[in-house]
Amino acid sequence: MSFADLGLSEDLLKAIEAAGYTTPTQIQEQAIPRILEGRDVLGIAQTGTGKTASFTLPMIDRLAKGQTKARMPRSLILEPTRELAAQVAENFKIYGRNHKLNMALLIGGVSFEDQEQKLDRGVDVLVATPGRLLDHFERGRILLNGVQILVIDESDRMLDMGFIPDIERIVGLTPFTRQTLFFSATMPSEIRRLTDAFLSNPVIIEASPPATTVELVKQYKVSVPKDDKARRLILRQLIRSRDVKNAIVFCNRKRDVGILARSLQRHGFNAEPLHGDLDQYTRMKTLGNFRDGNIRILVASDVAARGLDIPDVSHIFNFNVPIHAEDYVHRIGRTGRAGRSGEACTLVSPEETKYIQSIVKLIGKELDSISPETKSEPASVARQNPQEKSRKKDSPRPPRHAQTGSAKKSSDKTITSPGDSRAVKPSTAKKEEVLGMGDHVPAFLLRPVRSGDPA
Ligand code: AMP
């Protein structure tokens, strides 16, 4: 089947062709014609299945006719995180290039004024996170009774993040006559209750997880002791001993994301953290740099990474075994995409063996045991490993904030390590805390590397 068979307009088919897609995915094939007919849809699908295009494409055609009114969006898409919302907005820009639809993105970390101006001009498509949307509603800047199409995406993640009361309130503000498209990767009972309440005679589409998840990803487990320092050493050895082009390292706890990223940086790896506490600017910038290949290792929490469109990741490392087996499938779904092979390595301490058992049950296969090559590491920190050096020759690292402006001035002490021609500014250890402040970094945030930093 081709996109032309799905009932989409010529303008949209041209935009799809320009985006480089030739064949619809399973969920697109099933959802697009039904959404065009005006049916409600319950899509049980995770990211990587092409679900975003499965609702954005028919929405564009359905919204092509009609007038916008100030502060009354004609459609609303709810996303759990700012990054996901931004990605969906990006999809509308790509597919809607031949249409004149107005879109607004309401997410935290962006000024209210700009968003209000857009709302005042009238929007066809509003992409929002629940909290920011309700902020605008409470300021009297938006009305939801003109919403003809409502999309609730990543509903199970909304549940995890405690957004369900907000979602229920928002849905209550939209008209009964709306078309509702509801997506969730899993269907816990709380989500089933919502589908009963929000959807009217929906078409249920269950997209099988991308075949890659299980088949194309080589999955390994690596025994580690409970101690985090020992885990970090084993992780470094693993990264060095596998053929890593780029990787995401997942941690169960947000706190560990920062600690591990800093430790990896201090051991010469081109790594950056991504977690929910970082400001919006830093998250977007980090993600962009990772996508562009300027950052090689992204250290992330599940919430921060869920659903992000990061193509072509060669490796996933699970610094901890995810407690929910479904998170494991989501994590490793970031590699082995679109027919490419990938590798996932999970560090397992004796206490975590029970979680591995439920993962094995879910994916229906055992994880092979491997151990990293245990080459000894030089004792000093801020050292460059050979793999990193050769990579950087042809791919220069982006300018670092901590090395500019006031940051530069306040850190004139440099540390060099034996055999490393590169001088490292001590301030880089605190980089993730100063990003987003531009050059105006308070001096107290800049401090030399100390022996107490994570090893
Ligand atoms: P999603 O499941 O919406 O997160 O999409 C996963 C990835 O698949 C994104 O990188 C999309 O750009 C890509 N994609 C979506 N639809 C298609 C298609 N029909 N053919 C090829 N790639 C697609």
Please give the Cα distance from 342 to 315 (Å, whole number). 6
Please give the Cα distance from 105 to 142 (Å, whole number). 13
Please give the Cα distance from 376 to 383 (Å, whole number). 13
Tokens of 361: 């049950």
For residue 179 and ligand 1, the question of a CB distance below 6 A is answered with no
Ordered structural domains, the chain, with CATH: 3-206 (3.40.50.300), 217-369 (3.40.50.300), 396-455 (no CATH)
49 C-alpha to ligand 1 centroid (Å): 7
For residue 21 and ligand 1, the question of a CB distance below 6 A is answered with yes
Q: Which atom of ligand 1 is nearest to the CA of 25?
A: 19
256 C-alpha to ligand 1 centroid (Å): 31
324 C-alpha to ligand 1 centroid (Å): 25
Cα 272 to its chain centre, rounded Å, is 14
Q: Which atom of ligand 1 is nearest to the CA of 307?
A: 4
Q: What residues are paired with 75 via a beta bridge?
A: 125, 149
Q: Whose CA is nearest to atom 13 of ligand 1?
A: 50
Contact 183, 50 (CB under 8 A): no
Q: What residues are paired with 248 via a beta bridge?
A: 298, 316
Please choose, from the candidates 440, 252, 232, the residue with its C-alpha nearest in 3D space to the C-alpha of residue 328: 252
For residue 220 and ligand 1, the question of a CB distance below 6 A is answered with no
Q: Which atom of ligand 1 is nearest to the CA of 45?
A: 2
For residue 84, give the 3-state DSSP assignment. Answer: helix
Please give the Cα distance from 117 to 29 (Å, whole number). 37
**What is the pLDDT at residue 449?**
39
Q: Whose CA is nearest to atom 23 of ligand 1?
A: 50
Task: Name the residue type at position 269.
Answer: F
For residue 47 and ligand 1, the question of a CB distance below 6 A is answered with yes
Query: How many residues in the chain?
Result: 455
For residue 56 and ligand 1, the question of a CB distance below 6 A is answered with no
Please give the Cα distance from 15 to 21 (Å, whole number). 9
417 C-alpha to ligand 1 centroid (Å): 45
For residue 309 and ligand 1, the question of a CB distance below 6 A is answered with yes
From residue 148, give the alpha-carbon distance in Å to each of 37, 59, 273: 13, 10, 39
Tell me how many degrees the CA angle 22-27-30 measures, rounded to the nearest 5: 95
57 C-alpha to ligand 1 centroid (Å): 12
Helices (H), 139-270: 155-160, 164-173, 189-198, 212-215, 228-241, 254-266
Contact 289, 270 (CB under 8 A): no
Cα separation of the two ends of the chain: 54
Q: Whose CA is nearest to atom 20 of ligand 1?
A: 21
Distant-in-sequence, close-in-space partners of 255: CB < 8 Å, separation ≥ 6: none
Mutate to test the pocket of ligand 1, among 17, 25, 81 (most ligand atoms within 8 A of CB): 25
From residue 116, give the alpha-carbon distance in Å to each of 2, 101, 311: 40, 17, 33
Question: What sign results for the dihedral spanned by CA atoms 238, 242, 247, 248?
Answer: negative
Please give the Cα distance from 387 to 21 (Å, whole number). 35
DSSP letters spanning 396-427: PPPPPGGGSHHHHHH----B--TT----B-GG
H or E segment to which residue 132 belongs = helix 130-138
Q: Using only the alpha carbons of the chain, give its radius of gyration.
A: 23
Please choose, from the candidates 258, 273, 265, the residue with its C-alpha nearest in 3D space to the C-alpha of residue 236: 265
Q: Which atom of ligand 1 is nearest to the CA of 87?
A: 4
**What is the pLDDT at residue 19?**
87
For residue 90 and ligand 1, the question of a CB distance below 6 A is answered with no
Distant-in-sequence, close-in-space partners of 297: CB < 8 Å, separation ≥ 6: 239, 244, 246, 247, 248, 249, 264, 269, 270, 271, 272
Tracing tokens 């993730």 back to the chain, one arrives at 432
Tokens of 262: 């800093």
Burial class (CB in 10 A: 0-12, 13-18, 19+), 219: buried
Q: Whose CA is nearest to atom 19 of ligand 1?
A: 24
Q: Whose CA is nearest to atom 15 of ligand 1?
A: 50
Q: Whose CA is nearest to atom 14 of ligand 1?
A: 50
b/e burial code for range 237-263 (CB count within 10 A of at least 16 → b): bbbbebebebbbbbbbebebbbbbbbb
Task: Name the residue type at position 161.
Answer: M
Contact 365, 243 (CB under 8 A): no
115: phi then psi, degrees, rounded to nearest 5: -65, -40
For the chain, 455 residues long, give each residue's pLDDT as a single digit of tens: 899 999 999 999 999 999 888 889 889 999 999 999 999 999 998 877 889 999 999 999 999 999 999 999 999 999 999 889 999 999 999 999 999 999 999 998 888 888 999 999 999 999 999 999 999 999 999 999 999 999 999 998 899 889 999 999 999 999 999 999 999 988 888 999 999 999 999 999 988 665 445 567 889 999 999 899 999 999 999 999 988 999 999 999 888 999 999 999 999 999 999 987 777 778 878 888 998 899 999 999 886 666 566 666 889 999 999 988 878 887 887 777 655 678 999 999 999 999 999 888 878 788 999 887 766 665 545 444 444 444 443 333 343 333 333 333 333 222 223 332 323 333 333 332 222 222 232 333 333 334 445 66
**What is the pLDDT at residue 169?**
97
Tokens of 258: 């920062």
For residue 311 and ligand 1, the question of a CB distance below 6 A is answered with yes
Please give the Cα distance from 367 to 222 (Å, whole number). 9
For residue 51 and ligand 1, the question of a CB distance below 6 A is answered with yes
Q: Whose CA is nearest to atom 11 of ligand 1?
A: 50
Q: What residues are paired with 271 via a beta bridge?
A: 297
Q: What residues are paired with 217 via a beta bridge?
A: 342
359 C-alpha to ligand 1 centroid (Å): 26
Contact 64, 106 (CB under 8 A): no
